[in-house]
């Protein structure tokens, strides 16, 4: 790479940051421009529904510090408006444009909105960013009345647990029959008992029929005829990929940005995609493109996308992670591995661990407060879902853009690994950092 080359990264979350780090590891000495629509540098997003919303830490404590000198140009508080992939140009507000030799798209997702909800009311919030968390804290401070969270997925349950940690009355509303029901009856039942033990109220199999905004509170009339009065309502009903700025480009937009197995975007040259917005076929599973919204996927795919961009389309390797995620809820830990959402049937693998089966094949596992057992089942799934044998690489293009100049990677020190990136394989949340060979995202591919 020459000093005149420029790589633009759109998206200043964990995937964008890890992409920039990997570029520098691999010896890229050109210009890196990192564009982010939030005014903050990358931070630990899992803290938003936990420590930040409870006031346990200040926003500065959530910052993600790079572990090497990135030497990047930060364009924060700047939202990309559209992409001209033919001219290799990212357009910004005010008529500004950025040319690129390589582009990494890592714009993530936005919270889904609930039709009919009074989003103009400052007490009705979503919970995705640091600013969202601070806004929820302000709403909580204006009244001591109960809190309502709509959505029985992971973030909704994390927020409900955080409210009980603060001593606030909270009701969780969901249209499923139990919280986290998608992870099977055993985990849903265990979480329900945790909520009941900590006196969090549940309103399941129901939805909001009517909203009533008053000067001091928000009223919710539910389809089960229950009426709730809240000081603050948090909407946590899923997310949508942040792809509006890509409409009209040559990229294929379909629930994310469609990619090849190597994370190269279909429909454009020198464009790779990372994080929640990437829709790619994980060949460990099958050839169907899918998105994966996990923190560790942001870490791993950010690094993999940078590697692919440096190697070029003809030499890039498929991105084949074993998806893993975990969260703490009250005093218990939920862990998942593989693709539980693809399971058609469930089996009990061991006490507290549910297996998910598709066509007679174990495709995923989820454990409730069983970290040691999950270490075993993670290794077992790694064996049962092997990385496909590589095919002979295609001939390198006549004028490869990013192959020349690869350098040796900088070793990743144990002191810089975030807890969210290291705790999955430990048997206690505060265990020491695993050795690098236990962390697939920290490995340097051979060749």
User: What are the tokens at 5?
Assistant: 């080359």
Q: Determine, yes or no, domain membership for 178.
A: yes
How does DSSP assign 181-217, residue by residue? GGG-HHHHHHHHHHHHHTT-EEEES--EEEEEE-SS-
The CA-to-CA distance between both ends of the chain, in Å, stands at: 18
* 19 pLDDT above the threshold of 70: yes
Q: Determine, yes or no, domain membership for 59.
A: yes
Same domain, 25 and 62: yes
With bands split at pLDDT 50, 70 and 90, how would you rate the model's confidence at 395? low
With bands split at pLDDT 50, 70 and 90, how would you rate the model's confidence at 373? very high
* 170 pLDDT above the threshold of 50: yes
Q: Each residue of 126-144: pLDDT tens digit?
A: 999 999 999 999 999 888 8
Domain assignment of residue 340, given as a range: 331-389
Measured CA angle at 256 (ends 17, 252), to 5 deg: 115
Q: What is the dihedral of CA 276, 282, 287, 291, to 10 degrees?
A: -10
Same domain, 221 and 161: yes
Same domain, 304 and 372: no
* 397 pLDDT above the threshold of 70: no
Please indicate whether residue 195 or residue 438 has the higher confidence score (pLDDT): 195
* 425 pLDDT above the threshold of 50: no
Determine the pLDDT at residue 3. 55
Q: Return the sign of the alpha-carbon dihedral for residues 149, 152, 155, 160.
A: positive
Q: What is the dihedral of CA 393, 264, 297, 160, to 10 degrees?
A: -160
Determine the pLDDT at residue 269. 85
Q: Tell me, rounded to whole angstroms, the distance of Cα 68 from its chain centroid.
A: 23
* 442 pLDDT above the threshold of 60: no
With bands split at pLDDT 50, 70 and 90, how would you rate the model's confidence at 391? low
Taking residues 96-115, what's their average pLDDT? 95
Determine the pLDDT at residue 119. 87
User: What are the tokens at 20?
Assistant: 């920039």
Write phi, then psi, for 273 (nearest 5 degrees). -130, 145
Q: Determine, yes or no, domain membership for 397.
A: no
* pLDDT-above-90 percentage for the chain: 79
Pick from 19-33, 34-48, 433-447: least confident: 433-447
Q: Determine, yes or no, domain membership for 118.
A: no
Same domain, 203 and 288: no
Same domain, 12 and 59: yes
Write phi, then psi, for 75 (nearest 5 degrees). -120, 80
Same domain, 194 and 130: yes
Domain C-terminal end among 215, 237, 259: 237
CB-based contact 299:14 (threshold 8 Å): yes
Domain C-terminal end among 237, 254, 286: 237
Pick from 254-263, 295-304, 364-373, 386-395: least confident: 386-395
Taking residues 111-117, what's their average pLDDT? 93
Taking residues 5-31, what's their average pLDDT? 96
Average pLDDT for the chain: 87
Same domain, 144 and 163: yes
Same domain, 359 and 221: no
Determine the pLDDT at residue 267. 84
Pick from 312-326, 371-385, 432-446: least confident: 432-446
Determine the pLDDT at residue 389. 82
Q: HSE (CB half, 13 Å, CA atoms) of 217?
A: 12
Backbone φ/ψ region at 115: left (φ over 0), alpha (ψ -120 to 50), beta: beta
Q: Determine, yes or no, domain membership for 116.
A: no
Nearest one of 101, 108, 69 to 85, comparing CA atoms: 101
Domain C-terminal end among 210, 237, 264: 237
Same domain, 251 and 103: yes
Q: Return the sign of the alpha-carbon dihedral for residues 263, 267, 271, 277.
A: negative
Determine the pLDDT at residue 278. 98
Question: pTM above 0.85?
Answer: yes
Taking residues 333-350, what's their average pLDDT? 94
Taking residues 366-381, what's their average pLDDT? 94
Same domain, 163 and 205: yes
With bands split at pLDDT 50, 70 and 90, how would you rate the model's confidence at 408? very low
Q: Each residue of 275-320: pLDDT tens digit?
A: 999 999 999 999 999 999 999 999 999 999 999 999 999 999 999 9
| 3-state secondary structure at position 440 | helix
Determine the pLDDT at residue 67. 86
| 3-state secondary structure at position 415 | helix
Sheet holding 227-230, edge to edge: 208-213, 218-222, 227-230
Taking residues 50-63, what's their average pLDDT? 91
* 406 pLDDT above the threshold of 60: no
Q: Calculate the alpha carbon distances from 176 to 322, 345, 368 in Å.
A: 28, 18, 19
Please indicate whether residue 447 or residue 243 has the higher confidence score (pLDDT): 243
Rounded Cα distance between 228 and 138, Å, is 20
Determine the pLDDT at residue 215. 85
Count of structural domains within the chain: 3
User: What are the tokens at 96?
Assistant: 């500004």
**279 membership: H or E segment, kind and range:** strand 278-281
Q: Determine, yes or no, domain membership for 432.
A: no
Please indicate whether residue 277 or residue 403 has the higher confidence score (pLDDT): 277
Q: Could you say which DSSP state residue 330 is in?
A: T
Same domain, 231 and 142: yes
Q: Determine, yes or no, domain membership for 141.
A: yes
Per residue, the 3-state secondary structure of 14-70, as one string, reads HHHHHHHHHHHHCCCCCEEEEEECCCCCCECHHHCCCHHHHCCCCHHHHECCCCCCC
CATH at residue 106: 3.50.50.60
Same domain, 232 and 246: no
Considering just the CA atoms, what is the radius of gyration of the chain in Å? 22
| 3-state secondary structure at position 340 | helix
Rounded Cα distance between 36 and 39, Å, is 7
Q: Determine, yes or no, domain membership for 222.
A: yes
Report the length, in residues, of the chain: 447
């Amino acid at each position: 790479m020459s000093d005149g080359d420029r790589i633009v990264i759109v998206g200043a979350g964990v995937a964008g940051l890890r992409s920039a780090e990997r570029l520098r590891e691999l010896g890229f000495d050109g210009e890196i421009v990192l564009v982010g629509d939030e005014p903050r540098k990358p931070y630990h997003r899992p803290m938003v529904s936990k420590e930040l919303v409870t006031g346990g830490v200040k926003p500065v404590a959530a910052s993600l510090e790079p572990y090497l000198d990135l030497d990047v140009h930060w364009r924060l508080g700047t939202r990309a408006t559209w992409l001209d992939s033919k001219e290799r140009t990212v357009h910004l507000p005010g008529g500004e444009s950025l040319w690129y030799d390589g582009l990494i798209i890592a714009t993530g997702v936005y919270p889904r909105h609930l039709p009919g909800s009074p989003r103009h009311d400052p007490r009705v919030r979503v919970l995705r960013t640091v600013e969202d968390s601070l806004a929820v804290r302000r709403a909580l401070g204006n009244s001591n009345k109960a809190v309502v969270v709509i959505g029985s997925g992971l973030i909704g349950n994390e927020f409900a647990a955080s409210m009980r940690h603060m001593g606030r009355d909270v009701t969780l509303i969901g249209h499923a029959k139990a919280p986290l029901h998608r992870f099977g009856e055993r985990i849903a039942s265990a979480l329900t008992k945790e909520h009941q033990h900590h006196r969090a109220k549940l309103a399941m199999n129901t939805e909001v029929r009517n909203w009533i905004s008053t000067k001091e509170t928000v009223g919710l009339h539910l389809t089960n005829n229950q009426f709730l009065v809240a000081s603050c309502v948090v909407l946590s009903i899923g997310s949508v990929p942040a792809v509006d700025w890509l409409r009209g480009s040559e990229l294929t937009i379909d629930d994310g940005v469609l990619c090849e197995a190597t994370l190269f975007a279909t429909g454009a040259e020198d464009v790779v995609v990372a994080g929640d917005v990437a829709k790619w076929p994980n060949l460990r599973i099958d050839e169907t493109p899918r998105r994966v919204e996990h923190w560790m996927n942001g870490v791993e795919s950010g690094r993999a996308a940078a590697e692919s961009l440096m190697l070029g389309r003809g030499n890039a390797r498929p991105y084949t992670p074993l998806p893993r995620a975990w969260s703490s809820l009250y005093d218990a830990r939920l862990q998942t591995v593989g693709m539980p959402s693809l399971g058609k049937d469930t089996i009990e693998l061991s006490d507290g661990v549910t297996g998910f089966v598709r066509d007679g094949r174990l495709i995923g596992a989820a454990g409730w407060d069983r970290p040691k057992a999950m270490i075993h089942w993670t290794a077992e799934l790694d064996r049962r879902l092997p990385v496909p044998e590589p095919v002979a690489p295609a001939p390198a293009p006549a004028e490869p853009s990013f192959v020349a100049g690869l350098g040796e990677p900088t070793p990743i020190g144990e002191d810089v690994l975030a807890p969210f990136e290291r705790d999955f394989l430990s048997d206690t949340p505060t265990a020491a950092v695993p050795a690098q060979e236990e962390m697939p995202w920290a490995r340097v591919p051979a060749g």
